[in-house]
Structure 1
Amino acid sequence: MLFRAYTLTIDSDIDLQLPPGYGKADIVFEKVPLSREKLWQTQIYRKGVRAKFGGTREEALLEWEGIARFKVLAGGRLLYQNLTEDAGVFRLFILSEALGMVLFQRNLFLLHGSAVKLGMKATVFIGRPGAGKSTTVSAMAQQGHSILSDDLTAVWFDEKQQPYVLPGFPELKIWESAVDHLGFDKSLLQPAFEGHTKFLYQQSETNFPAEPVPLEQIIILQRPYSQRTGTVKLTEAPVELFRHFPLPVRLLQGNYLQRHFEDSIRIRRAVPILKVPRPKNFSALKQWIAQWPISD
């Protein structure tokens, strides 16, 4: 089966429930038995399970005990071993950091953040866990704006070194409180299998972009009354964006760390990175979105 994500065609032997792909496959998902190898603990948790990482950048290994084991080869093949009987849970894991490692091997710049298309350009929201990234984008989706990504945002640079967000797939994982306060019809939502009270909101594919969307800005969501606000300086951008790298930090060593820092500078030169207090409640969030765009 062929699917489409991040402007790439995926040939998968399982149903990923993504928009249909076409043409020659860029990535192949394949079920194979994978042996246990030496792995290290990572900073990544999903569904309460801590991920382990091993291998090399070109042959990366990722494992969540009792759930899934992955091996990613040269940005073109994702080998997997499913260790859970829950198809929804497995889909959550294969479409998160596992797919992210494929994108990383394809030299894309990655952020742990959510992105939305506002007008003709993309805004990316990053922040600490619980900062409200998905909630903010879900509120914008309620206003008819196109979801570009949830959790994992991929940035591509054109020949002029201008940054673009690659459309991931049109769905979000949203907290039950956001579902209730933003007016989503809970009967139309699926469980998100995240281990929390979250639901999966799938937006219509009708207006989902097929091509990269120019990046307009990156917003770092802060606590509602935070004094740490304003524009991130050019020299601060590498450290700020490093904090929001979504994959095992062991990947960022040597030349790869240098490239990550250089790409951070390219992004900041092209667009603003703003630290902004998140709205204190859902009413304030709706007002904030109605007053868009914001500035420092």
Structure 2
Amino acid sequence: MLFRAYDLTIDSDIDLQLPAAKGKADIVLKEAQFTLPKLYQTLIYRKGVRAQFGENESCIFLHWPELANFKMTGGKVLEYEKLTDDEDVFRLFTLSEALGMVLFQRNLFLLHGSAVQVGAKATVFIGRPGAGKSTTLSAFAQQEHAILSDDLTAIWFDAVGQPFVLPGFPQVKIWESAVDNLGFDKNLLQPAFEGHNKFLYQQPLSVFPTALVPLHQIIILQRPYSQKVGKLKLIESPIELFRHFPLPPRLLEGAALQRHFEDCIRLIKAVNILKMRRPRNFNLLKKWVKQQVASAEG
């Protein structure tokens, strides 16, 4: 089966429940048997499970105890060993950090954040856990702005250094409080399979872009009463964006660290990176979304 995500065609032996694709595969996802190398604990948790990470000269490995093992090779092959019978949970783990490591091997710039298309351009929301990235994205989605990514955002630079967001897949995980306060119909939503009180909203494919979206800005969501607001300075960008790298920091060593640093500088030279307070409540969030849309389209 062929699927489309992050402007790439994935040839998968399992149903990823993503937009269908045609043509030649960029990534092959298949079941295999392999031996894990020495593993290290990460700070990545999903469904209450802590990920373990390992690597050798050519491959990256990810181990989720009792759920899955993954092996990523050359940005082209993603092999897996399934350790759970729950297909929905396994798909969640496949489409999160495992696919993210393949994107990393393809030299894309990655952020732990959500992205939305407003007008012709993309805005990315990043922030510490609980900052409201997915809730903010869902507020835009409720107003029919295209979801580009939730949780993992991939950015590509063209020959002159202009950044573009690669459309991931048209879905967002929403907390129940956001469902109730933003006007989503709970009867039309699916469980998010993360072990939290979250729902999965699937945006219609008619809204989802088929091409890369120029990046307009990156917003770092701060607490409602935070004094740390304003435009990020050039010298601050590598340290700040390093905090929002979605994969094990051990990957950013040697040439990879240098590339990450250079991409941070290219980003801040091309677009604004802003620290902004998140709205205090859902009514203010709705007003804030309208302000952001007016600003982007003005």
Output the TM-score relative to the length of structure 2. Answer: 0.97
Say whether residues 1:220 and 2:220 are aligned partners. Answer: yes
User: Cα gap change, 1:144/1:57 in structure 2, threshold over 3 Å: closer, same or farther?
Assistant: farther
Q: Distance in 1 between matches of 2:58 and 2:140?
A: 37
Q: Distance in 2 between matches of 1:58 and 1:171?
A: 32
Q: Distance in 1 between matches of 2:250 and 2:40?
A: 9
Counterpart for residue 95 of structure 2: 95
Structure 1 runs (4+) greater than 6 angstroms displaced: none
Counterpart for residue 239 of structure 2: 239
Counterpart for residue 38 of structure 1: 38
| Partner SS, residue 17 of structure 2 | coil
1:24, CA displacement in angstroms? 0.2
Counterpart for residue 142 of structure 1: 142
Say whether residues 1:16 and 2:42 are aligned partners. Answer: no
| Partner SS, residue 238 of structure 2 | helix
Q: Deviations over 1:87-107 (max 9, x none)?
A: 110010000000000000000
* Unmatched tracts of structure 2, length 5 or more: none
| Partner SS, residue 292 of structure 1 | helix
Counterpart for residue 280 of structure 2: 280
Q: Distance in 2 between matches of 1:37 and 1:234?
A: 38
Counterpart for residue 196 of structure 1: 196
Q: Distance in 1 between matches of 2:276 and 2:105?
A: 31
* Unmatched tracts of structure 1, length 5 or more: none
1:291, CA displacement in angstroms? 1.6
Asked if the contact 2:131/2:222 (under 8 Å) is kept, the reply is yes
1:127, CA displacement in angstroms? 0.2
User: Cα gap change, 1:202/1:174 in structure 2, threshold over 3 Å: closer, same or farther?
Assistant: same
Q: Distance in 1 between matches of 2:24 and 2:291?
A: 43
| Partner SS, residue 50 of structure 2 | strand
User: Cα gap change, 1:57/1:198 in structure 2, threshold over 3 Å: closer, same or farther?
Assistant: farther
Residues 108-147 of structure 1 correspond to what in structure 2 (within 5 A)? 108-147=108-147
Residues 66-81 of structure 1 correspond to what in structure 2 (within 5 A)? 66-81=66-81
Q: Distance in 1 between matches of 2:103 and 2:212?
A: 14
Q: Deviations over 1:72-117 (max 9, x none)?
A: 0000000001111111100100000000000000000000000000
| Partner SS, residue 147 of structure 1 | strand
Say whether residues 1:250 and 2:250 are aligned partners. Answer: yes
Q: Distance in 1 between matches of 2:195 and 2:226?
A: 29
Q: Distance in 1 between matches of 2:92 and 2:81?
A: 14
Say whether residues 1:61 and 2:68 are aligned partners. Answer: no
User: Cα gap change, 1:57/1:110 in structure 2, threshold over 3 Å: closer, same or farther?
Assistant: farther
Asked if the contact 1:38/1:54 (under 8 Å) is kept, the reply is yes
Q: Deviations over 1:132-154 (max 9, x none)?
A: 00100100011110000000000
Asked if the contact 1:71/1:79 (under 8 Å) is kept, the reply is yes
Counterpart amino acid of residue 291 in structure 1? Q
Q: Distance in 2 between matches of 1:233 and 1:192?
A: 37
1:207, CA displacement in angstroms? 2.0
Asked if the contact 2:192/2:200 (under 8 Å) is kept, the reply is yes
Counterpart for residue 104 of structure 1: 104
Asked if the contact 2:144/2:207 (under 8 Å) is kept, the reply is no
| Partner SS, residue 112 of structure 2 | strand
Say whether residues 1:84 and 2:84 are aligned partners. Answer: yes
1:243, CA displacement in angstroms? 0.3
Output the TM-score relative to the length of structure 1. Answer: 0.98
| Partner SS, residue 284 of structure 1 | helix
1:21, CA displacement in angstroms? 1.1
Q: CA RMSD in A?
A: 1.1
Counterpart for residue 6 of structure 2: 6
1:126, CA displacement in angstroms? 0.1
Q: Distance in 2 between matches of 1:36 and 1:260?
A: 27
